[in-house]
A and B are shown apart, each in its own frame.
Chain A
Amino acid sequence: RKEVEQDPGPFNVPEGATVAFNCTYSNSASQSFFWYRQDCRKEPKLLMSVYSSGNEDGRFTAQLNRASQYISLLIRDSKLSDSATYLCVVRSGGSYIPTFGRGTSLIVHP
């Protein structure tokens, strides 16, 4: 089982829609969680950290479920510019080295 798993998609949604992605992780000792965004043929960039209590940044909401070992990203009122690949990143205790999921592709169409 891969350490970090994501549904590759693509998720194809109309503008204005709400879309959610999940990411599961296998190491119960994982301590830090993040979402990165990668535009086509560009480098990944940090979108947001994921805190235990959940956190929100504008239209984006991230949540952590330690019991079920998954994190989620919710995007409300999707914009065309949200089209990208969303990478789940997990850091485990000890080395704290970030491990990336393969990403979920989102396509927002008019």
Chain B
Amino acid sequence: DAGVIQSPRHEVTEMGQEVTLRCKPISGHDYLFWYRQTMMRGLELLIYFNNNVPIDDSGMPEDRFSAKMPNASFSTLKIQPSEPRDSAVYFCASSLELVGTGELFFGEGSRLTVL
């Protein structure tokens, strides 16, 4: 079975440019999460969706960040304009449920470098 698929795996861009990260969750998973990981702050939850609906976006740093989930098999995280402090690994994860084990299945991550 295919796991969570993220693209691009690596992106290097210049400050001010728009960045779009993409995620395809595991089929049948109702929950989708976007996390950001840095050395300083660890894994931070940015936003999560339930059945394509954004439930909690309190972790989104500021208005430069936006996320959408137009259907059950696709989500995007957009940064516009990007800044050097946005450099991090962005993980998408999906989960069948939140109760019980509620295991999170992560994609391989998108490593973003903003110059």
Contact-residue bracket for chain A: 20 to 34
> Could you count the A-B residue pairs with CB atoms below 8 Å apart for me: how many are there?
42
B18 CB-CB contact with A under 8 Å: no
A-binding segment of B65-73, B79-87, B97-105: B97-105
Residues in B neighbouring A98, C-beta threshold 8 A:
45, 102, 104
Q: Check if A43 sits within 8 Å of B99, measured CB to CB.
A: no
- The minimal Cβ–Cβ distance linking B48 to chain A, given in whole angstroms, is 7
A45 CB-CB contact with B under 8 Å: yes
- The minimal Cβ–Cβ distance linking A23 to chain B, given in whole angstroms, is 12
Residues in A neighbouring B101, C-beta threshold 8 A:
34, 46, 49
Beta-carbon contacts under 8 Å, A38-60 to B: 42-46, 49
State the CA gap A55–B102 with chains docked (Å).
Answer: 17
B-binding segment of A12-20, A71-79, A99-107: A99-107
Contact residues of A: prevailing secondary structure: strand
Q: Check if A97 sits within 8 Å of B48, measured CB to CB.
A: yes
Residues in A neighbouring B48, C-beta threshold 8 A:
97
Contact-residue bracket for chain B: 10 to 19
| Contacting residue for A103 out of B42, B56, B106, B108, CB 8 A | B42
A87 CB-CB contact with B under 8 Å: yes
> With A100-B43, A101-B42 given, is the CB distance from A32 to B102 under 8 Å?
yes
Q: Check if A46 sits within 8 Å of B56, measured CB to CB.
A: no
- The minimal Cβ–Cβ distance linking B46 to chain A, given in whole angstroms, is 12
Q: Which residue of B lies closest to A2 (CB)?
A: B42
| Contacting residue for B107 out of A43, A91, A101, A102, CB 8 A | A43
- The minimal Cβ–Cβ distance linking A44 to chain B, given in whole angstroms, is 5
**Contact surface of A with B, Cβ cutoff 8 Å:** 32, 34, 36, 42-46, 49, 87, 91, 95-103
**Contact surface of B with A, Cβ cutoff 8 Å:** 35, 41-43, 45, 48, 56, 91, 98-99, 101-104, 106-109
